[in-house]
Amino acid sequence: MSSDTQDRVEQVLQKWYKSKKEISKLEKDCEKYKQFIGRIMDQRDTNAIVRGSYTTNRRHDSRKTLSKSNVPSELWEKYSTTIYYDTYYVKMKKD
């Protein structure tokens, strides 16, 4: 790789790492906000709040999953599907 390409790769990795850190903080903030609004909804015995320019609704969803440990192996082998996809990770190097 040329020096320019190496520099560009490092810049992109640096931006990616920084963005992931920012996302993590924002996700934590959003979770705190959801918990607060959830407590208010519980206190008011409601699933919707309208205030000023904003509205929020709470929906109780459910989802069914099947775990390999919960079914006989012959059923798992017959009905399970494998999906292949790329996964990327970025982290700071430890010196």
Q: What is the pLDDT of residues 37-90, one digit of tens each?
A: 999 999 999 999 998 889 999 988 888 888 899 999 999 999 888 898 888 777
Question: Residue 35: which domain range?
Answer: 1-57
Cβ-contact 17, 92 below 8 angstroms: yes
Number of domains into which the chain is organized:
1
Does any domain span residue 88? Answer: no
Query: pLDDT-derived band of residue 92, with 50, 70 and 90 as boundaries?
Result: confident
Is the pTM here over 0.85, yes or no? no
Residues, the chain, total?
95
SS3 of 22, please?
Answer: helix
Cβ-contact 90, 9 below 8 angstroms: no
Query: pLDDT-derived band of residue 22, with 50, 70 and 90 as boundaries?
Result: very high
Does any domain span residue 44? Answer: yes
Does any domain span residue 82? Answer: no
> 93 in the Ramachandran plot: left (φ > 0), alpha (ψ -120 to 50) or beta?
beta
